[in-house]
Amino acid sequence: MTPLHAAAALVIVAVWGLNFTAIRFGLDEFTPFAFATWRFLLGALPVLFVPKPAVSWGVLAGIGGFMFTGQFIFLFFAMQAGLPPGLTSVLVQLQGPLTVVLAALFLREHATRGQWAGLAVATVGVVVIAQTVDDTANVLAIGLALLSALTWATGNLFFRTARGVSMFAVTVWASVLPPIPLAIASILIEGPGPILTPVLAPTWRGWLVLFYTVVPVMWLGYLIWGTLLRTYPAAKVGPISLLVPCAALFFASLLVDEPIGGLRLLGVAVVLGGVAIGVFASGRRLR
């Protein structure tokens, strides 16, 4: 990997790692459905000048419905229920081994023993983390984070069919559909007020969070990620994602004083170890 691409990879790690703390701040300004609506509404703006990629609307709907809508709604509610940003970032990384399981179940792809072992180890880590929470809300939050990982993994099955096209174009066009059901859900569940908050009662902090989660995280992040995937084998690029929760834990401890230690730290290490086993097992298979 060239020095420029290595630097770009580190930018992704930092930007995506900080995103979890930014979401935590955003949930202080917006309700979950309103937050998600505005995130994807703004994220879809480049469709005004970016041509639609050569993929079906069904694929875009699958990506938008699972990878975007499902993943982020469950993630937002998990964090609103009390799950700290750093720990959330670790649990959603289970999307990697879960993608392998779903591909084996629904696409009849053969998963290696290493991939199954990675999922088993990561599951043990989740159980260890669950032992460190002492109230129902946080246990519920862990369940919501796991649903976020599951819907992300489901979206991956759709995303992988979009080959030979711009990853950035797929991202922005898949963002066109989510704002519609999200806005309806926001109005029905949260009332008409929250969806209008960014316009009727704007705050610099709220718009800063929206800007950050859209421009650096979605547009720049997926542009860089797509470039790396087109330039290098997936086995070389994939492990970069393992650094994201490490960055997320660092930013969360620095900005919101998230405690990570003792049994919880052990659980985090086990989860990341399981994900790493699955990633590297997949890398050997690709070679």
* pLDDT tens-digit series, residues 213-226: 999 999 998 888 87
Residue 248 near residue 74, CB atoms below 8 Å: no
Model confidence pLDDT, tens digit, residues 175-214: 999 999 999 999 999 999 999 999 888 899 999 999 999 9
Model confidence pLDDT, tens digit, residues 90-118: 888 788 778 777 887 777 767 677 777 87
- 244 or 285, greater pLDDT: 244
How much is the pLDDT for 140? Answer: 87
How much is the pLDDT for 257? Answer: 84
Which two structure tokens, joined as six digits, stand for 13?
């790690």
Residue 134 pLDDT > 80 = no
Could you write out the DSSP letters of every residue in the chain?
--HHHHHHHHHHHHHHHHHHHHHHHHTTTS-HHHHHHHHHHHHTGGGGTSPPPSS-HHHHHHIIIIIIIIHHHHHHHHHHTT--HHHHHHHHTTHHHHHHHHHHHHS-PPPPHHHHHHHHHHHHHHHHHHTT--SHHHHHHHHHHHHHHHHHHHHHHHHTT--SS-HHHHHHHHTSSTHHHHHHHIIIII-HHHHHHHHHS--HHHHHHHHHHHIIIIIIHHHHHHHHHHHS-HHHHGGGGGHHHHHHHHHHHHHS-----HHHHHHHHHHHHHHHHHHHHHHHHH-
Residue 48 pLDDT > 70 = yes
How much is the pLDDT for 136? Answer: 53
How much is the pLDDT for 172? Answer: 94
Percent of the chain scoring above 70 in pLDDT: 92
- 166 or 40, greater pLDDT: 40
Number of domains in the chain: 1
Structural domain boundaries, residue 108: 3-286
As a whole number, the mean pLDDT across the chain is 85
Percent of the chain scoring above 90 in pLDDT: 39
Residue 132 pLDDT > 60 = yes
Per-residue pLDDT averaged across 50-76, rounded? 92
- 235 or 27, greater pLDDT: 27
Model confidence pLDDT, tens digit, residues 253-281: 889 887 777 777 888 788 888 877 876 77
How much is the pLDDT for 286? Answer: 47
